[in-house]
Chains A and B, each alone.
Chain A
């Protein structure tokens, strides 16, 4: 029985040590790329278009440019993924803590921090 107990705790700690970090890395990698995309927005779009068409009196349906829409969407994605990442990181700590508490109660050494 102690053997199977030990294996089960190790598997639980795996969630904190390996499984959740894989997901967190994916989410954070995405956030990093999206933040880089935000920095491209300012130079990618059409400020001069609006100046030019304004001078030519051509009606433009929407003065809130593509850059603004794009930045807003990127911000929403970065923010939403950030909250997801925060909760996953806390879950990682919690699962690690659960595994360690059971290990301590059983007289086993703690798992290395994750």
Chain B
């Protein structure tokens, strides 16, 4: 949606262009055709919602912080509180918790990268508006005859993104390809605004805006690719390796049909009490039919 300031710049430019545009012959192009195309290109470039994109980045960051703030305290506590317990079920639970920790580390990495991608996307949306406004201001000056030179206007929408996202990302094998496309898409650094005539100025403005739009569309494609790659890190279907990482199989204390005290031993110095004989062997938790997760369903082609 075009903001009020950009809209006023468009109106100023149209007014300045039409004010100076020479009388045209019937077969010559109507200047309004150029100006209408400028309007629709600007509308496309300003279509992102920077505030909502920024809110989304903040939500992802808060999610990332929530995951990392308290979890480690819990893992440390389990390590200490379980140290006196032995047996197959205890070992299985320790192994399960180790896998949970690995899963949380994976989610942590994904959320960290997701946040960086979203920050880059927000910068792209904001940069589009800044660039459009800079181009329009230069074109208005040119239409008003402030200068007789060709002006080079630097673009922020493209160059700023790579700076925010940064370079290499550490992660699982293969993850380094994640943002390659985004980081490389920085070639369109500036456009030229002609001041040699009012029609030429409008045309160069339109050319510049369309060039920017084309780069932005390419850039957005890179963002789609990057997010898609992240989704693959979460639910990689190749040999289902990642599914076990992000959804570790449940421990036997909740899957076994009955509780066997001998698999969850008391410390050896207590065992002579024979207390295990009096312990109920009923299942520890109510068994319920677990529905497949969305990730499992997708991997199964659902």
A-side interface residues toward B, CB under 8 Å?
1, 4-5, 8, 11-12, 14-15, 18-23, 25-27, 29-34, 36-37, 40-41, 43-49, 52-53, 55-56, 58, 60-62, 64-66, 69-70, 72-73, 75-77, 79-84, 86-88, 90-91, 93-95, 97-98, 101-102, 104-106
Known contacts A20-B74, A106-B275, then 5 further A-B pairs from the complex at CB < 8 Å, ordered by chain A residue: A19-B75, A27-B71, A52-B43, A56-B44, A105-B275
Identify which of B81, B82, B111, B295 contacts A79 (C-beta below 8 A). Answer: B295
Identify which of A23, A37, A56 contacts B60 (C-beta below 8 A). Answer: A37
Chain A residue nearest in CB terms to B223: A66
Closest 5 A-B residue pairs measured CB to CB?
A22-B74, A52-B44, A29-B66, A33-B63, A19-B77
Given A43-B49, A93-B284, CB of A36 within 8 Å of CB of B259:
no
Assess the B70–A22 pair: CB atoms within 8 A.
yes
Chain B residue nearest in CB terms to A39: B59
Identify which of A43, A88, A97 contacts B100 (C-beta below 8 A). Answer: A88
Assess the B250–A53 pair: CB atoms within 8 A.
no
Query: In the docked arrangement, what's the CA distance between A18 and B295, Å?
Result: 29
Assess the A40–B220 pair: CB atoms within 8 A.
no
Q: Which of B170-185 contact A (CB under 8 A)?
A: none
Given A30-B107, A76-B234, A102-B266, CB of A58 within 8 Å of CB of B74:
no
Given A48-B43, A94-B254, A102-B279, CB of A73 within 8 Å of CB of B114:
yes
Identify which of B78, B80, B220, B279 contacts A20 (C-beta below 8 A). Answer: B78
Query: In the docked arrangement, what's the CA distance between A64 and B43, Å?
Result: 20
Assess the A66–B227 pair: CB atoms within 8 A.
yes
Which residues in A have their C-beta under 8 angstroms from that of B73? 19, 22
Which residues in B have their C-beta under 8 angstroms from that of A61? 217, 221
Which of B7-15, B50-58, B138-146, B155-163 is the contact stretch?
A: B50-58
- The DSSP consensus for interface residues of chain A is helix
Which residues in B have their C-beta under 8 angstroms from that of A8? 84-85, 266-267, 270
Query: In the docked arrangement, what's the CA distance between A61 and B107, Å?
Result: 29
Assess the A90–B250 pair: CB atoms within 8 A.
yes
CB distance from B100 to the nearest CB of A (A): 7
Which residues in B have their C-beta under 8 angstroms from that of A23? 70-71, 74-75, 100, 104
Assess the B224–A11 pair: CB atoms within 8 A.
no
Chain A residue nearest in CB terms to B245: A80
B: number of interface residues (CB 8 Å): 86
Query: In the docked arrangement, what's the CA distance between A2 and B40, Å?
Result: 81
Query: In the docked arrangement, what's the CA distance between A15 and B249, Å?
Result: 19
CB distance from A86 to the nearest CB of B (A): 8
Assess the A80–B234 pair: CB atoms within 8 A.
yes
Assess the B231–A76 pair: CB atoms within 8 A.
yes
Query: In the docked arrangement, what's the CA distance between A106 and B60, Å?
Result: 48
Assess the B284–A82 pair: CB atoms within 8 A.
no
Which residues in B have their C-beta under 8 angstroms from that of A29? 63, 66-67, 70
CB distance from B76 to the nearest CB of A (A): 8
Assess the B44–A53 pair: CB atoms within 8 A.
yes
Assess the A37–B284 pair: CB atoms within 8 A.
no
Which residues in B have their C-beta under 8 angstroms from that of A40? 52, 55-56, 59
Which residues in B have their C-beta under 8 angstroms from that of A44? 48-49, 52-53, 55-56
CB distance from B40 to the nearest CB of A (A): 6
Given A22-B71, A69-B228, CB of A30 within 8 Å of CB of B66:
yes
